Structures are given as C-alpha cells and as structure tokens.
Amino acid sequence: MKIVIIGSSGRLGAALTREYREKFDVIAFNQADLDLANPNQIRGKLSPLDFDVLINAAAFTNVDLCESQPEQAFAINAEAPRLISEICSEKKAKLIHFSTDYVFDGEKREPYVETDAAKPISVYGESKRAGEENVLTVQDRSASAKATADRHLVVRMSWVFGPDRPSFVDAMIKRAREEEQIEAVADKFSTPTYTRDISEMLSRFFDVDVSGGVLHFTNAGECSWQEYAQHALDCCRASGVPLKAKAVRSVKIADMKNWIAPRPVYSVLSTTKYAQLTGVTPRSWRDAVADYIERSYSKK
C-alpha cells in the first residue's frame, strides 16, 4: 500500500511516519516540503504521485493566532483540505483528515458523538469545521469521484501528546522540574490522546469505510487540565523523575487573561462508534500518559 503523509514534522505526523514506514510505502511531506497555504504547490506536489491513502495531519493549530490571522487559518485548515480531497478523489485514493474537539461549543456536558451538530466558538474551530465539510461534501464531481469521496474519513481528536513535539504534558513536566509551584486550569474538560495509540488504530481504517465519514478517537475517560498535569507528575515520581513541584494548583479559565480565543469548556469525544466498529475499547488516558512518561522520561 502506498501512503502519503502531510505534516510529517508535527507531533502526530511524525508518529504516523515512524510507525508506517516499516509497514507501507510512505511518502512524507513536512511544512518545508509542502506549503498548505499555496494551492499551486499542493497540486504540483501531489498530482504526479501514485498513492492509495493520503493522511493529512497538518493544520494551523495556534488557537489564539488564528483569531488575528483568519485568512491563513482558513487557507490551511479549510481550503487546503478541499483541494487535497479533490486530488484524492481524482486518483480514487482515500483521504484521512484529522480534525479537533474544538468544532464543538462545549455546552453539552456529556461526550459528543459524531452526529452532534458542530458549533465552533473560535476562528480555529470554524476553520477546522469548514475543512471537515470540504473533505466530506462532494461538489461538481463525477460519479466515480463521488464514490471515492464518500470513503474519505475525518478523525476528530483532542489533547494530542507524544514524543515528537512538546505538548501540554511536557510543558507541565518541564515547569515542575524547574519550579516549586505550578498551576493548571481545573474547569475545562476533555481527554488526552497518545500519538502511539492513534498510529495503532488508524491503519484499521485504511480499507474500511465509516458511515457518515466522521470518527472520534481519544483515549478513554475525561479530565481537566489540572487532573491531567497532576497525574503526569505522579507518574514522573513513580518513574524516578526528579521534580521540584509535587502538586498542581488549580486556576480557572477566567484567570487565563492571556488567552485570546474562546475555548470549549467541555469537549469530551465519545469513542462508542470506534468501539462498535473495531470491537476494541481505547485504553484509559491515565494508562496512556503513564506509558508515555515511562518511555520518554524515566531514563532521562
């Protein structure tokens, strides 16, 4: 199987590239290789290639910067996926496009399922939702292209962490090593998701079509950023990682004066559909974080 991965220098894209290179014929593009804000470059780089699956793991993810750069956000997060979807359909190749829990407004207070209405509250969320629609909506395509587009898949995730680029959990561990007191938001909830687990699950869907074209995948459970950070510190101590801070103090979203964009307060994604399709329940976020810290920090 021939696979193209876009975003190979990012946290998720690097993990996918590393995982799949030993199993498939992989062509990987990082940000320097392919500018998603440049439609001519996208067409020029992808059209000559022969591939079966294209994975788009690239995005403009700086939530606050998106507020001041909406044109760039929509170019990368919405218009690029539209063009990539068209190219994949022309080639009868499957597109797997990653999206986010930020397409929801956070008002539900129970896990969001794939059929819930997306109501983004930030430019980032709006641009990602537009990208989803552009991947899944068929416009002026031939019957064969439409059939291929119907196979495209949008995978929504939340709070992605992994070894290839620092995330929230790495920032908290770094601070805990350097400072005696650290804090994290205690009134915002979602679920951490390990890139190692995403890599393992995704290949199940290379040849499998998903009804509705949308799938949620996270590790199991839910937590606040404070709970997430505290568990990471507890795992570090259990693994012998020296820390100055022992506890994570709580702060509220209202205390985050440097935030520009609004964030959904509750954006937990239900993985019931994934479990029904595969017969597999994702491991808990606590186990995934413990595994990550054991692999990445215990010997450092």
Instruction: Supply 20's token pair.
Output: 């799949």
Structure tokens at 289: 């974080």
Give all strands (DSSP E) within the chain, no chain letters. Answer: 2-6, 25-29, 53-56, 94-100, 153-157, 160-161, 182-185, 189-190, 193-194, 214-216, 223-224, 248-251
The half-sphere exposure of 19 on its side-chain side, counting CA atoms within 13 A, is 19
158 and 191 Cβ atoms separated by less than 8 Å: yes
Which residue in the list 20, 102, 112, 124 is annotated as catalytic?
Answer: 124
E strands along 14-70, which residues? 25-29, 53-56
Do residues 224 and 164 touch, judged by C-beta distance below 8 A?
A: no
Sequence-distant (≥ 6) Cβ neighbours of residue 165 within 8 angstroms: 10, 11, 14
- Which residues, listed in sequence order, are joined to residue 100 by a DSSP beta bridge? 157
Q: Which of 131, 165, 156 is nearest to 10 (CA)?
A: 165
Active site residue 274: no
Cα–Cα distance for residue pair 133/85, rounded to 1 Å: 11
Catalogue the active-site residues: 124
